[in-house]
Structure formats: structure tokens, C-alpha cells
């Protein structure tokens, strides 16, 4: 069974960083909060780089609309291709069933054109 990662709220992270900034030692705070000291160090670094953008929450940052539109277009094209291929497979299966029921399997055009090779 895999271990699930703990998730911390933005408020929890900000409170931890504020306590670090106020002078509480990294090791003591890590023990108190039961988190890895490297995690606290990373949170502090993120906060120092851009306090207003630190800890944005779950998920990835928003993608530009042009990227979203391109991805949706590609998904739509793939859906059309998948539907086409499914229809082709259904036609082939119907042909195979029809041939099997008549007991007359058809040869392919390619196999009918080639003469048999002489045995050596």
C-alpha cells in the first residue's frame, strides 16, 4: 500500500514561515510541526522569492487561453480519428462475420495477383 502525501494549507505554511522569520529554530519548528526540515526550508525560500505568489494551492498554474484552445482542438481531432477507426473496425468485423457465415473466405487482391512460387 502506498503512502499518501500530507497536504498543508496555505495558512499552515504561512504560519510556519512567519515563525521561522521570527527566530524559531528550523529544527525545533520541524519537530513541533512534524514536518521535514527541508520542507520548511523550501517553504521559506518560496515565500522570500515572491510572498504574494507563494503557496498558490492545488493544481497547476492557469494556462493561457491559446494553449487551452490548441489542446481542445487536438482532443477534438483525436475524437474524430478514433470514431473513424472504430467505424472501420466495425465494417471489417461485419465483413469477416459475413464471410465466415457463407463459408467462403475471400482472398485479398494481393494474394490473387501473385503466382505461386515453385518449390526448390
Q: What is the pLDDT of residues 8-65, one digit of tens each?
A: 888 899 999 999 999 999 999 999 999 999 999 999 999 999 888 888 776 556 678 8
How confident is the model at residue 56, as a pLDDT? 78
30, 36 in Cβ contact below 8 A? Answer: yes
Q: Note whether residue 58 is domain-resident.
A: no
Residues 45 and 18 both lie in one domain: yes
Q: Confirm whether 74 is domain-assigned.
A: yes
Residue 114: inside a domain: no
Among the listed residues 78, 75, 18, the one whose alpha carbon sits nearest the alpha carbon of residue 48: 18
Tell me how far the alpha carbon of residue 48 is from its chain's centroid: 31
Domain that holds residue 17: 10-49
Full-model pTM: 0.46
How do residues 58-74 score in pLDDT, each as one tens digit?
A: 655 667 888 889 999 99
Tell me the backbone φ, ψ of residue 86, rounded to 5 degrees.
-65, -40
Cell of 56: 498558490
Residues 43 and 71 in one domain: no
Amino acid at each position: 500500500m502506498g503512502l499518501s502525501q500530507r497536504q498543508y494549507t496555505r495558512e499552515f505554511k504561512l504560519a510556519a514561515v512567519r515563525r521561522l522569520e521570527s527566530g524559531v529554530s528550523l529544527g525545533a519548528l520541524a519537530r513541533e510541526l512534524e514536518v521535514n526540515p527541508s520542507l520548511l526550508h523550501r517553504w521559506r525560500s518560496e515565500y522570500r522569492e515572491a510572498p504574494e505568489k507563494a503557496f498558490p494551492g492545488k493544481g497547476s498554474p492557469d494556462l493561457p487561453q491559446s494553449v487551452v484552445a490548441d489542446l481542445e482542438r487536438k482532443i477534438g481531432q483525436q475524437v474524430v480519428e478514433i470514431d473513424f477507426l472504430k467505424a472501420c473496425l466495425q465494417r471489417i468485423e461485419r465483413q469477416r462475420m459475413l464471410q465466415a457465415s457463407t463459408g467462403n473466405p475471400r482472398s485479398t487482391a494481393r494474394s490473387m495477383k501473385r503466382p505461386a512460387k515453385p518449390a526448390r
